[in-house]
Amino acid sequence: MNKDIILASKSETRIRLLTNAGIKFKAVSHGVDEDEIKLSMNNSAPEEVVVKLAEMKALKPSISNTDTFVIGSDQGLDLNGKLINKAKDREEAKDQLIKMSGSTHTLITATTVAQNNKVIWKYIDRSNMKMRNLNENQINNYLDSVDDKILNLVGVYAIEEQGLKLFNYVESDLFSIQGISMIQLCQFLWDNNLLFDSHVI
Protein backbone atom coordinates (compact mmCIF):
# COMPACT_ATOMS: atom_id res chain seq x y z
CA MET A 1 0.00 0.00 0.00
CA ASN A 2 1.31 3.43 -0.97
CA LYS A 3 1.54 5.56 2.16
CA ASP A 4 3.06 8.69 0.63
CA ILE A 5 1.44 11.93 1.73
CA ILE A 6 1.48 15.27 -0.07
CA LEU A 7 0.32 18.59 1.33
CA ALA A 8 -0.88 20.68 -1.60
CA SER A 9 0.11 23.94 0.01
CA LYS A 10 3.13 26.14 0.60
CA SER A 11 1.45 27.81 3.58
CA GLU A 12 3.97 28.16 6.40
CA THR A 13 1.21 27.64 8.96
CA ARG A 14 -0.15 24.43 7.42
CA ILE A 15 3.35 23.04 6.97
CA ARG A 16 4.12 23.82 10.62
CA LEU A 17 0.93 22.19 11.88
CA LEU A 18 1.58 18.92 10.02
CA THR A 19 5.26 18.92 10.94
CA ASN A 20 4.55 19.53 14.62
CA ALA A 21 2.11 16.61 14.60
CA GLY A 22 4.89 14.32 13.39
CA ILE A 23 3.30 13.67 10.01
CA LYS A 24 5.81 12.97 7.26
CA PHE A 25 4.86 14.60 3.99
CA LYS A 26 6.02 16.54 0.98
CA ALA A 27 4.68 20.08 0.44
CA VAL A 28 3.96 21.12 -3.16
CA SER A 29 2.18 24.01 -4.83
CA HIS A 30 -1.39 23.11 -5.73
CA GLY A 31 -1.31 24.91 -9.09
CA VAL A 32 -4.95 26.00 -8.86
CA ASP A 33 -6.04 29.41 -10.17
CA GLU A 34 -8.10 30.49 -7.16
CA ASP A 35 -9.24 33.77 -8.69
CA GLU A 36 -10.61 31.99 -11.75
CA ILE A 37 -12.62 29.54 -9.64
CA LYS A 38 -13.97 32.32 -7.42
CA LEU A 39 -14.99 34.29 -10.49
CA SER A 40 -16.78 31.27 -11.99
CA MET A 41 -18.63 30.77 -8.67
CA ASN A 42 -19.45 34.42 -8.12
CA ASN A 43 -23.08 33.69 -7.27
CA SER A 44 -22.37 30.68 -5.04
CA ALA A 45 -22.55 30.58 -1.26
CA PRO A 46 -19.20 31.18 0.52
CA GLU A 47 -19.05 27.61 1.83
CA GLU A 48 -19.53 26.15 -1.66
CA VAL A 49 -16.58 28.20 -2.95
CA VAL A 50 -14.31 27.19 -0.06
CA VAL A 51 -15.12 23.48 -0.45
CA LYS A 52 -14.61 23.61 -4.21
CA LEU A 53 -11.21 25.25 -3.81
CA ALA A 54 -10.08 22.72 -1.19
CA GLU A 55 -11.14 19.85 -3.44
CA MET A 56 -9.41 21.28 -6.50
CA LYS A 57 -6.21 21.88 -4.52
CA ALA A 58 -6.13 18.20 -3.54
CA LEU A 59 -7.29 16.84 -6.89
CA LYS A 60 -4.84 18.59 -9.23
CA PRO A 61 -1.61 17.20 -7.70
CA SER A 62 -3.23 13.76 -7.26
CA ILE A 63 -3.42 13.32 -11.04
CA SER A 64 0.36 13.14 -11.44
CA ASN A 65 1.06 11.43 -8.09
CA THR A 66 -0.51 7.98 -8.47
CA ASP A 67 -1.87 6.37 -5.30
CA THR A 68 -0.53 9.22 -3.14
CA PHE A 69 -2.75 10.78 -0.48
CA VAL A 70 -2.98 14.49 -1.29
CA ILE A 71 -4.21 16.94 1.34
CA GLY A 72 -5.90 20.14 0.20
CA SER A 73 -7.31 22.89 2.35
CA ASP A 74 -8.93 26.27 1.91
CA GLN A 75 -10.43 28.97 4.08
CA GLY A 76 -13.02 31.61 3.50
CA LEU A 77 -14.57 34.32 5.64
CA ASP A 78 -18.35 34.60 5.53
CA LEU A 79 -19.52 38.04 6.67
CA ASN A 80 -23.28 38.36 6.43
CA GLY A 81 -23.44 35.83 3.60
CA LYS A 82 -20.66 37.44 1.56
CA LEU A 83 -17.26 35.87 0.93
CA ILE A 84 -14.46 38.18 2.05
CA ASN A 85 -11.25 37.64 0.09
CA LYS A 86 -7.68 38.24 1.24
CA ALA A 87 -6.83 41.92 1.44
CA LYS A 88 -4.75 43.21 -1.47
CA ASP A 89 -3.06 45.96 0.56
CA ARG A 90 -3.05 47.65 3.95
CA GLU A 91 -5.91 50.00 3.05
CA GLU A 92 -8.18 47.10 2.10
CA ALA A 93 -7.08 45.27 5.26
CA LYS A 94 -8.13 48.28 7.32
CA ASP A 95 -11.51 48.45 5.56
CA GLN A 96 -12.12 44.76 6.23
CA LEU A 97 -11.30 45.12 9.93
CA ILE A 98 -13.64 48.11 10.20
CA LYS A 99 -16.45 46.04 8.67
CA MET A 100 -15.79 43.08 10.99
CA SER A 101 -15.38 45.19 14.12
CA GLY A 102 -18.07 44.44 16.71
CA SER A 103 -19.67 41.73 14.58
CA THR A 104 -19.58 37.97 14.25
CA HIS A 105 -18.27 36.31 11.12
CA THR A 106 -17.92 32.66 10.18
CA LEU A 107 -14.52 31.34 9.25
CA ILE A 108 -15.00 28.32 6.99
CA THR A 109 -12.18 25.79 6.77
CA ALA A 110 -12.45 22.90 4.32
CA THR A 111 -9.89 20.09 4.54
CA THR A 112 -9.87 17.38 1.88
CA VAL A 113 -7.89 14.32 0.84
CA ALA A 114 -7.72 13.11 -2.76
CA GLN A 115 -6.22 10.03 -4.32
CA ASN A 116 -5.99 9.23 -8.03
CA ASN A 117 -8.05 12.28 -9.01
CA LYS A 118 -10.88 11.45 -6.60
CA VAL A 119 -11.81 13.13 -3.32
CA ILE A 120 -11.90 10.35 -0.72
CA TRP A 121 -12.41 12.44 2.42
CA LYS A 122 -13.37 15.94 3.45
CA TYR A 123 -14.25 17.86 6.58
CA ILE A 124 -15.82 21.30 6.84
CA ASP A 125 -15.36 23.43 9.94
CA ARG A 126 -17.44 26.53 10.63
CA SER A 127 -15.97 28.76 13.33
CA ASN A 128 -18.05 31.68 14.57
CA MET A 129 -15.72 34.53 15.50
CA LYS A 130 -16.85 37.61 17.45
CA MET A 131 -14.53 40.57 16.97
CA ARG A 132 -14.18 43.27 19.58
CA ASN A 133 -15.50 46.78 18.96
CA LEU A 134 -12.32 48.30 17.58
CA ASN A 135 -11.85 51.97 16.85
CA GLU A 136 -9.73 53.30 14.00
CA ASN A 137 -6.71 53.98 16.22
CA GLN A 138 -6.77 50.41 17.56
CA ILE A 139 -7.01 49.00 14.04
CA ASN A 140 -4.10 51.16 12.87
CA ASN A 141 -2.08 50.11 15.92
CA TYR A 142 -2.75 46.46 15.14
CA LEU A 143 -1.75 46.80 11.49
CA ASP A 144 1.41 48.69 12.50
CA SER A 145 2.38 45.88 14.86
CA VAL A 146 2.07 42.98 12.43
CA ASP A 147 4.11 41.97 9.39
CA ASP A 148 2.79 42.52 5.86
CA LYS A 149 2.51 38.73 5.53
CA ILE A 150 -0.75 39.13 7.44
CA LEU A 151 -2.22 40.22 4.09
CA ASN A 152 -1.84 36.60 2.95
CA LEU A 153 -4.30 35.47 5.62
CA VAL A 154 -8.08 35.45 5.39
CA GLY A 155 -9.51 38.03 7.77
CA VAL A 156 -6.15 39.79 8.23
CA TYR A 157 -5.37 37.86 11.42
CA ALA A 158 -3.38 34.93 12.74
CA ILE A 159 -5.26 33.66 15.79
CA GLU A 160 -2.09 32.07 17.20
CA GLU A 161 -0.34 35.45 17.15
CA GLN A 162 -1.50 39.05 17.68
CA GLY A 163 -4.78 38.33 15.93
CA LEU A 164 -5.95 36.76 19.19
CA LYS A 165 -6.43 40.16 20.82
CA LEU A 166 -8.96 41.17 18.17
CA PHE A 167 -11.56 38.70 19.48
CA ASN A 168 -13.68 38.28 22.58
CA TYR A 169 -15.20 34.97 21.43
CA VAL A 170 -14.15 32.18 19.10
CA GLU A 171 -15.91 28.91 18.41
CA SER A 172 -14.35 25.62 17.31
CA ASP A 173 -10.73 24.49 17.56
CA LEU A 174 -7.63 26.60 16.98
CA PHE A 175 -6.21 24.17 14.41
CA SER A 176 -9.12 24.77 12.03
CA ILE A 177 -8.95 28.51 12.60
CA GLN A 178 -5.25 28.41 11.68
CA GLY A 179 -6.04 26.77 8.34
CA ILE A 180 -6.44 23.00 8.56
CA SER A 181 -8.64 20.71 10.69
CA MET A 182 -5.83 18.70 12.27
CA ILE A 183 -7.84 16.62 14.76
CA GLN A 184 -10.18 15.33 12.05
CA LEU A 185 -7.34 14.90 9.53
CA CYS A 186 -5.34 12.85 12.04
CA GLN A 187 -8.38 10.63 12.56
CA PHE A 188 -8.56 10.01 8.81
CA LEU A 189 -4.84 9.17 8.75
CA TRP A 190 -5.30 6.85 11.74
CA ASP A 191 -8.25 5.08 10.09
CA ASN A 192 -6.09 4.47 7.02
CA ASN A 193 -2.98 3.34 8.92
CA LEU A 194 -1.11 6.46 7.87
CA LEU A 195 -0.68 8.35 11.13
CA PHE A 196 2.41 6.51 12.37
CA ASP A 197 3.55 4.78 9.18
CA SER A 198 3.74 7.69 6.76
CA HIS A 199 7.18 8.34 5.32
CA VAL A 200 9.00 11.05 3.45
CA ILE A 201 8.76 10.91 -0.34
Q: Mind listing the pLDDT tens digit for each residue in 144-179?
A: 999 888 888 999 999 999 999 999 999 888 999 999
* 201 within a domain of the structure (yes/no): no
CATH number of the domain enclosing 28: 3.90.950.10
* 197 within a domain of the structure (yes/no): no
Which residues are part of the catalytic machinery?
74
Distance CA 160, CA 65 (A): 33
User: Would you state the pLDDT for residue 148?
Assistant: 86
* 199 within a domain of the structure (yes/no): no
Identity of the residue numbered 148: D
Domain extent at residue 82? 5-191
* 92 within a domain of the structure (yes/no): yes
* 45 within a domain of the structure (yes/no): yes
User: Would you state the pLDDT for residue 200?
Assistant: 46
* 69 within a domain of the structure (yes/no): yes
Q: Mind listing the pLDDT tens digit for each residue in 21-64?
A: 999 999 999 999 999 999 999 999 999 999 999 999 999 999 99
* 129 within a domain of the structure (yes/no): yes
Q: How confident is the prediction for the chain on average, in pLDDT?
A: 93
Distance CA 174, CA 121 (A): 21
pLDDT at residue 111 greater than cutoff 50: yes
Task: Give how many domains the chain has, as a whole number.
Answer: 1
Name every residue whose Cβ is closer than 8 Å to that of residue 84 and which is 6 or more positions away in sequence: 76, 77, 78, 96, 99, 105, 154, 155
Pick from 98, 165, 166, 164: nearest CA to 131: 166
User: Would you state the pLDDT for residue 140?
Assistant: 96
Q: Measured over all CA atoms, what is the biggest interatomic distance in the chain, rounded to whole angstroms? A: 57
* 24 within a domain of the structure (yes/no): yes
Regarding pTM above 0.95, the answer is no
